[in-house]
Chain A
Amino acid sequence: MTSSNPNNGGEALVKALEYEGVDVMFGLPGGAILPVYDPILDSSIRHVLVRHEQGAGHMAEGYAHATGKPGVCMVTSGPAATNVVTPLADAMLDSVPMVCITGQVPLAAIGTDAFQECDTTGITMAVTKHNFLVTDAQDIPRIIHEAFHIATTGRPGPVLVDIPKDIVDPTNPKSAMTWYDPDSVPMELPGYRPVMEGDPALIEEAAALIAQAERPVLYVGGGVLKARAAEPLLKLAELLQIPVVTTLMARGAFPDRHELCLGMPGMHGNYTAVTAMQESDLLISLGARFDDRITGKLDGFAPTAKIIHVDIDPAELGKVRQYNVGIQGDCKLVIEGLIEATEKLGTSAQADRSDWRSTVSGWQEKFPLVYEDSLPGDKLKPQFVMEQLRDGNPHDTILCSGVGQHQMHASQFWKFDHPYTWINSGGLGTMGFSIPAAIGAKAGMPDRRVWAVDGDGNFQMTAQELVTATVEDIPIKVALFNNSYLGMVRQWQEMFYDERFSEVHLSDNVPDYVKWAEAMGAVGIRVESPEEVAPAIAKANEIDDRSVVVEFVTDARENVFPMVPAGKTNSELVVDPSQQHLIDGDTSGKGAAS
């Protein structure tokens, strides 16, 4: 940016973004946003040119997940704005801090069905934490500041700023403005007052309830990561010696290799995590929202558990499950409060949980995650590939996932020992998320190894962003699980539709993923036999100057287990077929019906 202060809306917008500390943004120019792209040439901000606006949105999300800083994307009006609706909705459901700038037709043309006009703020109202239509160039620095403030405070989320062309176009008198530092003027947000501190009396009440609990579980959700509370969580769990489950959005918030970690609960959670919640007498929910994928059939969920519910969003408290103690507040501050209150009670105040610990570890021994090795000549088992991928990479590797079976296998079989190493689309379940998200993560964390795990259905939705990765020199690695099917849908048709496979078979031979990868400037490797898996991963890890796509040809018949069938309670968990006889004869997990 030039040293002189901007005197028009377009330059002011770019300067305002610099002022917020933006170092990278993802976008694609077009008519209405053109005047803003000119000052970008002189800006310190790196702009990554995407191949589709959806990619820009997911890259901004991946960047935000990995760095904790707000992701920024900028696109033009009309179809570009509608193309970012999916990432906005994704960021809304997963509480990802993101600021999206959209161009809009000039003020006088709004409402006239002008070329590339759409009602962007109207369309995105339901999928943003807030959105703005700026009508005066003078407001730009303040509104950009407000947008970042809203996106990053309280429960984080996406904020969209829609900017008509005339107020950013220096040739138009409407763009004239006098620059001011964005935080030198008061924000005009009289209705926005996020509460950070938990009520100390409620925290003490919660600590007392925890002390009495004989079968407690720390139910940890994505809010713990958003609050950057992994460290105090570890301290709290160790202080109380309470087992921890981490939801799909919270993988890595507590180390998987820790003895108190039970892994992921929910529809495809492991037996111990699901059953421990089910049999618990106290769930301490931290930044989690009792999502239907966690609870299964609600009226059968954790029937004997009292609930402590901590969330920064008061609307989550009691939304799904009534609580005994509900605390509105930032997870980090509340966890620190719980540690203090627990220490005040003294260790002698804690109930004896040795029986509970041994019951839980009994389940862990009896019901590990299992799969059978592939038979010679058969296609690869996805679980085997995932284990090889895990073992062939450092613990701080960032793993970005698409949506489906590979996502569940990744969450199950990877060992997440560090926060912010797992990036996925949990709430919206957006297929095609992984590649752009991985590019965004790599752009934000260039020194870290970033792997995308993807399915063949997902890959075909957003693979073109590998061109972006090549051209922008943001090399990522892709583990493509190709089973020729929309695998998760296939699994449901197999289990719940009498194996009537409708519209789930993609193709056995097209596209040629190796050629496609090469066409996009990446290295393509196809792997078909188990002994090739580890060497291919090692080879991919040796290549740092461009992206690598390793296609693993996997067995479509392989399903994700355990599974709680939709509409069933978590006590009706279906484990791997090889373990089912153990459940039939099991008495310790009394809720686990055969």
Chain B
Amino acid sequence: MNVSPTSPRWHTIAATVENKPGVLARVAGLFSRRGFNIHSLAVAPTEDEKFSRITFTVDIEGTPLDQVVKQLDKLINVVDISQLDPDASVERELMLVIVEVGEQRKELMEIVDDYRAYVLNEGDGKVLMSWSARPSRLDELEARLRPFGIVDMQRTGRVTLPSLGT
């Protein structure tokens, strides 16, 4: 479980936890008191409602990943924990974004088509669109939209599952 020096700075960890009140607070509290930094976090029940899966991305600069995983595993409500290798897993993140339409509606819609994003809502000189993709692709789209003027944006944080073989 040692982290090689060439590992990327962000690591994705998925923890299966008991679906009980206060469990997220235990996880979040552990991160803060051990000085680990959470980059993003997504949490929802699994196929079995007794359990939730928390997927989080941690900044492991300064904190060995090994310690993060072992300390989390010590929490009584954490049932299972796995580090997800980006090369062997599928990652998705959802983004909702409101963009100014302005004069360049045509260019904007080309981008929407390019990325196969969805326009969910339009009005007041703005469009609200949604897109789900790999987080790095969301970064790309975000960069392309920025020149139009992003009015508001919300990303969910990534969710991940291991991919099914190769």
Q: Could you list which residues of chain A lie within 8 angstroms of chain B, going by C-beta atoms? A: 121-122, 125-126, 129-130, 133, 150, 189-192, 313-315, 318-319
Contacts and interface: CB of A to CB of B under 8 A. Distances in A.
B26 A125 contact: yes
Contacts of A150: 76
Closest 5 CB pairs of A and B: A315-B70, A191-B79, A130-B76, A190-B79, A191-B78
B142 interface: no
A94 to B, nearest CB: 16
24 contacts: A125-B22, A126-B29, A126-B33, A129-B76, A150-B76, A189-B76, A190-B18, A190-B79, A191-B17, A191-B18, A191-B75, A191-B76, A191-B77, A191-B79, A191-B80, A313-B74, A314-B73, A315-B67, A315-B70, A315-B73, A315-B74, A318-B64, A318-B66, A319-B67
B164 interface: no
A192 B80 CA distance: 10
A315 B66 CA distance: 8
A133 B18 contact: no
Interface of B: 17-18, 21-22, 25-26, 29, 33, 64, 66-67, 70-71, 73-80
Nearest to B29: A125
Contacts of A190: 18, 79
Contacts of B18: 190-191
Nearest to B16: A191
Given A129-B76, A315-B71, 6 more contacts: A125-B26, A126-B29, A189-B76, A191-B76, A315-B73, A318-B66
A133 B22 contact: yes
A189 B75 CA distance: 11
B25 A122 contact: yes
A314 B70 contact: yes
Nearest to B80: A191
A125 B25 contact: yes
Contacts of B29: 125-126
A254 to B, nearest CB: 28
A191 B66 CA distance: 18
A319 B35 CA distance: 14
Contacts of B67: 315, 319
Contacts of B26: 125
Contacts of B73: 314-315
Contacts of B75: 191
A348 B80 CA distance: 45
A192 B76 contact: yes
Central interface residue in A122, A125, A133, A191, by most chain B CB within 10 Å: A191
Contacts of B17: 191
Contacts of B25: 122, 125
A589 to B, nearest CB: 33
Contacts of A191: 17-18, 75-80
Contacts of A315: 67, 70-71, 73-74
A315 B63 CA distance: 13
Contacts of A125: 22, 25-26, 29
A190 B50 CA distance: 11
A315 B74 CA distance: 8
A129 B26 CA distance: 11
A121 B22 contact: yes
Contacts of A318: 64, 66
